[in-house]
């Protein structure tokens, strides 16, 4: 099954556009695990088990594992997700971008080593830095377009040229991902929930591409405005929330609290479809 098919299947089955982000930070773990990087797998597996029937996808962010030398725990977690929730796609948030020969190695890491269903990529180095990922048939790749952080303005909201009417950088990226870069229909775009007007613009330029939309929860993005701007019946959106769900409680009940927060967020997103 392709990534897109998995995404649409999980959306239907769970009535969900919510992606739970797995950004484990041991200093925020509950008392019995606190500051113990060896517990990263246990913490994340508890979150996965508590929320798997509520999500369209999971999104581990690789930096939170690598920073603690916990890549082996990420491998175990990927295996755990495949075994316990095989119908839920996993997007490895790695934001890779490098020359083709190095990109081939990153692609092997993402798809062969970790077995992810999709990855996040930076478009900054151009198509030859994206192409190696597209050789993995059926896998997905989300290209950064209009990111959720304010610094995204530095490049993404600049005009490509001083000619009136020329596209902004993020519009150009959306056009490329929707057009000549999308050789096998594997691409999606990353757009921040903190910028609903830009989500709407990206949706107009890329009417059916899946959008990965981080920024609800801890970053304060508007969940309802996000759905109205980005969701269409034939175009899935994957709305990520990490910290607000992972750390909904700092007590021993953290997994139950994460489930409650995930359920609440899923329901708010679903209701916004109208
Ligand atoms: O534009 C972007 C792209 C990626 N991210 C990632 O999403 C999560 C957000 O975490 P929260 O705790 O829900 O704020 C995190 O892994 C980021 O690296 C993003 O925030 N914005």
Residues of the chain with confidence (pLDDT) below 70: none
Token output for 65: 């594992």
Which atom of ligand 1 lies closest to the CA of 152? 1
pLDDT of residue 247: 98
pLDDT of residue 228: 98
pLDDT of residue 162: 83
Percent of the chain with pLDDT over 90: 98
Average per-residue pLDDT in the chain?
97
- Tens-place pLDDT, residues 81-125: 999 999 999 999 999 999 999 999 999 999 999 999 999 999 999
pLDDT of residue 70: 98
pLDDT of residue 266: 98
**pTM for the full model?**
0.98
Return the best residue to mutate from 242, 244, 245 for the ligand 1 pocket (most ligand atoms within 8 A of CB).
Answer: 242
Q: Where are the domains of the chain?
A: 3-272
CA of 242 to the centre of ligand 1 (A): 7
Residues with CB under 6 A from ligand 1: 21, 23, 61, 93, 147-148, 190, 192, 214-215, 217-219, 240-243
| Integer Cα distance of 26 and 96 in angstroms | 24
Nearest to 201 by CA among 241, 157, 266: 157
Token output for 217: 């929860």
- Domain 3-272 is found in CATH 2.30.30.60: no
Active site residue 95: yes
What ipTM, to 2 d.p.?
0.99
CA of 124 to the centre of ligand 1 (A): 18
């Amino acid at each position: 099954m392709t990534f897109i098919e998995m995404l649409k299947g999980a959306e239907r089955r769970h009535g969900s556009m919510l992606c739970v982000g797995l950004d484990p930070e041991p200093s925020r773990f509950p008392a019995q695990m606190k500051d113990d990087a060896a517990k990263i797998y246990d913490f994340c597996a508890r979150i996965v088990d508590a929320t798997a029937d509520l999500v369209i996808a999971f999104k581990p962010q690789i930096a939170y594992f690598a920073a603690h030398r916990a890549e082996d725990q990420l491998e175990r977690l990927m295996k755990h997700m495949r075994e316990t929730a095989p119908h839920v796609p996993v997007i490895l948030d790695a934001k890779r971008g490098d020359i083709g020969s190095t990109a081939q190695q990153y692609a092997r890491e993402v798809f062969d080593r970790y077995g992810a269903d999709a990855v996040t990529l930076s478009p900054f180095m151009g198509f030859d830095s994206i192409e190696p990922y597209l050789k993995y048939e059926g896998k997905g790749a989300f290209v950064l377009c209009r990111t959720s952080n304010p610094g995204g303005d530095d490049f993404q909201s600049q005009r490509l040229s001083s000619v009136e009417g020329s596209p902004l950088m993020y519009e150009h990226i959306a056009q490329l991902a929707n057009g000549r870069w999308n050789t096998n229909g594997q691409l999606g775009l990353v757009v921040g929930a903190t910028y609903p007007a830009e989500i709407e613009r990206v949706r107009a330029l890329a009417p059916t591409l899946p959008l990965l939309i981080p920024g609800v929860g801890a970053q304060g993005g508007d969940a309802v405005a996000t759905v109205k701007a980005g969701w269409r019946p034939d175009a899935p959106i994957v709305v990520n929330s990490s910290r607000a769900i992972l750390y909904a409680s700092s007590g021993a009940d953290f997994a139950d609290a994460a489930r409650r927060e995930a359920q609440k967020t899923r329901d708010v997103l679903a209701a916004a479809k109208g």
